[in-house]
Amino acid sequence: MKKLFTLLLLCTSLPALAYEYKYGESVAFTGKLQTMRGGWMAIVLDKPITVVPKPGDDDGIDTPETGVRTMQLAMSSPENFRQYQRFKGRMARVQCETLYHSHTAHHQTPVLCTVARISAPDRP
């Protein structure tokens, strides 16, 4: 019984162990790049994260999200697409210009990353 209680306690506290970031921040993540069903591009993170609004952000769009493991990648430059193709299916480091919450039917994950650069996991 004691082991079961400990296991349940551990499972319910895992989201609390997630790293916390704020919407609008420039941040880098390491994870595996994947093309998901439907053709959208994503990074599957090494560790879950929590994303919260910046203080004073009262518009209601940027709602807190916990346990985020997969983020859709929003890319607009041809160079970003080339970098993605180079690392697709492999580990990579994605520099996000900003994090933002989904707000259209085209957004497939609760939190999205506007890509600034994709590189090898051990490079800045």
28 domain residue, yes or no: yes
**Rounded CA separation 61/45 (Å):** 23
Position 8 confidence tier, pLDDT thresholds 50, 70, 90: very low
Strand ranges (E), the chain: 19-22, 27-35, 41-52, 65-74, 91-101, 111-119
* pTM, 2 dp: 0.81
**Structure confidence at residue 42 (pLDDT):** 97
DSSP states along 70-88? EEEEE--SHHHHHHHHHHT
12 domain residue, yes or no: no
Domain residues for 103?
18-119
- Please name which of 74, 115, 66 lies closest in space to residue 93, comparing C-alpha atoms: 115
- 107 vs 94, residue with greater confidence: 94
Q: How many domains does the chain have?
A: 1
74 domain residue, yes or no: yes
